[in-house]
Structure 1
Amino acid sequence: MNNFSNKVAVITGAASGIGRAIATRCAQEGMKIVLADVEEAALQAAEQELKSAGVTVLAVVTDVGKESDISALAQKTMETFGAVHLLFNNAGVGGGSTIWNSTSADWQWIMNVNLWGTIHATRIFVPIMLQQETECHIVNTASLAGLESGPGNSIYRVSKHALVSLTETLYHELKLMRSNIGVSVLCPGFVRTQICDADRNRPVELSKPGDIATPTPMTTMIDQFIRAGVEQGISPDEIAEQTFIAIKSNRFYILPDPAYKQSVKQRMEDILNQQNPTFVVPSTI
């Protein structure tokens, strides 16, 4: 896909971080943009900033974990623009203690956003794209954590591994149909975003006393490690640029930072050699 002018892009998690950078990149390509996010104030600020620059924008407050919200997002997109050509399933939250200490509410919140959000969007938007019979592309934001093994951030890791598999399966199924829909999975390492503060958007009904796992010395250490990595990570703008390069070349795997490929290689070798998993500490931290 190379011609983006006047095409329609739908972006979840669009109010900040990678989603906000992708929206700016879409604007540079002359696209009409649908911004979806659960954080209403930040969403309105992003909408106003783009509109001030002359961009055609529709902002829709959306909780991606709710199928009804994704249905409403699709309906408003079609009513306003009549089509969707680029879908960025980008909304995501970080978190999770150890596998055994994470609460049921922790699992429900993170899996709802990171995995079910993309499941809902795939079920609702792909049939629309297929009916259009026009060139389209879907980018699912997973993570390096979905391609490697390691400790900590447990629910996030599980959700991102599942998301990589979902996206690979979607790619094969659409290819078998000879559809005009390209598919990519975005797997960045550390990026300078607010993901470490994702709790600001945690649903009230999943934030009652006892819903959130109590930190342990190990999880506190890992959280500090992740926060340091995020602070030193690459910029969301760089992620957006690399993503568009991949879309234009119809490349499936997007690994924006080559420094992290060693951990992916190590996991593949562990599997093929039937040896125990290795945790590769990123050399950039």
Structure 2
Amino acid sequence: MNHFTNKVAVITGAASGIGRALATRCAEEQMKVVLADVEVAALQKAEQELTAAGANILTVITDVGKESDIQTLAQKTMDTFGAVHLLFNNAGVGAGTTIWQSTLADWQWVMNVNLWGAIHASRIFVPLMLQQGTECHIVNTASRAGLESGPGNSIYRASKHALVSLTESLYHELKTIQSKIGVSVLCPGFVRTQICDAHRNRPAEYSKPGDIADPSPISTAIDQFIRSGVEQGISPQEVADLTFLAIRSNRFYIMPDPSYKETVRQRMEDILNQNNPTFVIPSHI
């Protein structure tokens, strides 16, 4: 997909971080942009800023973990713009501690957003794209955590590994039917976003007493390491620019930070050689 002017982009998690940067880039490409997010104030701010810059914007308050919200998002997109050409399943959160100490609510919230959000969007938006019969592209935001092996951040890791596999299957299935829909999986490393403060958007139904696990020494140390990495990470705008380069070249794997390829290679070698998993301590950029 090379031509973006007047095309329609739908972005989840669009109010901040990578999603906000993607929205800016879409606007720069003179696209019509649908911003979906659960964080109302940030969503309104993004709408105001992009509209002031001359962009054609639609905002839809969306909890991606709810199928009904994704259905509403698709309906409002079609009612307003009549099509969808770029779909960025970008919303993501993190929570919990070790696998056995994380609460059921921790698991449910992270999986609902990180994995089920993309599942709902794929089930609802892909048929619309196929019916259009035009060039389209889907980008699912996973993470380096979806390509590596290691301790801690376990729910997030599991959700992102599943999302990578989901996206690979979607790529193969759409290619099998010779569709005009391209697919990419975005696997950023450390990026300067608010991912470490995702709890600010944790729904009330997953925030009752006992729903949130107490941190363990393992998770506390890893969380501190991740927060430090995020603070030193690349900019969301750099990720957005690299993502558009990948869309133009129809490239599936988008890895903005090549420094973590060694940890991916180590995991692949462990699998191929049937070795026990190796934990390679990642370095900050």
**TM class, shorter-length:** over 0.9
1:243 alignment partner in structure 2: 243
How far apart are 1:51 and its partner, in Å?
0.3
Q: Does 1:276 align with 2:256?
A: no
> Letter of the aligned partner of 1:180 in structure 2?
K
1:224 alignment partner in structure 2: 224
How far apart are 1:96 and its partner, in Å?
2.2
CA distance in 2, matches of 1:282, 1:79: 46
1:18 alignment partner in structure 2: 18
CA distance in 2, matches of 1:242, 1:194: 20
> Letter of the aligned partner of 1:258 in structure 2?
P
CA distance in 2, matches of 1:22, 1:264: 26
CA distance in 1, matches of 2:252, 2:166: 13
Q: Aligned Cα RMSD in Å?
A: 0.7
Aligned structure 1 segments of 4 or more residues deviating by more than 3 angstroms: none
> Letter of the aligned partner of 1:30 in structure 2?
Q
Deviates more, 1:83-92 or 1:271-280: 271-280
CA distance in 2, matches of 1:248, 1:142: 19
1:52 alignment partner in structure 2: 52
1:168 alignment partner in structure 2: 168
CA distance in 2, matches of 1:180, 1:218: 45
1:76 alignment partner in structure 2: 76
2:185 alignment partner in structure 1: 185
> Letter of the aligned partner of 2:22 in structure 1?
I
Count of residue correspondences? 285
> Letter of the aligned partner of 2:245 in structure 1?
I
How far apart are 1:94 and its partner, in Å?
1.5
3-state SS of 2:109 partner: helix
Asked if 1 retains the 8 angstrom alpha-carbon contact of 2:191 and 2:233, the reply is yes
Asked if 1 retains the 8 angstrom alpha-carbon contact of 2:96 and 2:215, the reply is no
Asked if 2 retains the 8 angstrom alpha-carbon contact of 1:96 and 1:152, the reply is no
> Letter of the aligned partner of 1:133 in structure 2?
G
CA distance in 2, matches of 1:55, 1:144: 32
How far apart are 1:29 and its partner, in Å?
0.6
| Matched-pair identity in % | 80
> Letter of the aligned partner of 2:130 in structure 1?
L
> Letter of the aligned partner of 2:276 in structure 1?
N
Asked if 2 retains the 8 angstrom alpha-carbon contact of 1:97 and 1:154, the reply is yes
Asked if 1 retains the 8 angstrom alpha-carbon contact of 2:145 and 2:160, the reply is yes
Q: Normalising by the residue count of structure 2, what TM-score does the alignment of the two structures yield? A: 0.99
Asked if 2 retains the 8 angstrom alpha-carbon contact of 1:99 and 1:155, the reply is yes
How far apart are 1:241 and its partner, in Å?
0.5
CA distance in 1, matches of 2:39, 2:27: 21
How far apart are 1:284 and its partner, in Å?
2.4
Q: Normalising by the residue count of structure 1, what TM-score does the alignment of the two structures yield? A: 0.99
How far apart are 1:283 and its partner, in Å?
2.4
How far apart are 1:199 and its partner, in Å?
0.3
CA distance in 1, matches of 2:259, 2:267: 15
Unaligned residue ranges in structure 2 (runs of 5+):
none
How big is each residue's C-alpha offset from its partner over 1:89-124, in whole Å with a ceiling of 9 and x where there is no partner?
000001221000000000000000000000000000
How far apart are 1:218 and its partner, in Å?
1.6
How far apart are 1:129 and its partner, in Å?
0.1
2:234 alignment partner in structure 1: 234
Unaligned residue ranges in structure 1 (runs of 5+):
none
How far apart are 1:35 and its partner, in Å?
0.1
Q: Does 1:120 align with 2:108?
A: no
Asked if 1 retains the 8 angstrom alpha-carbon contact of 2:10 and 2:34, the reply is yes
2:63 alignment partner in structure 1: 63
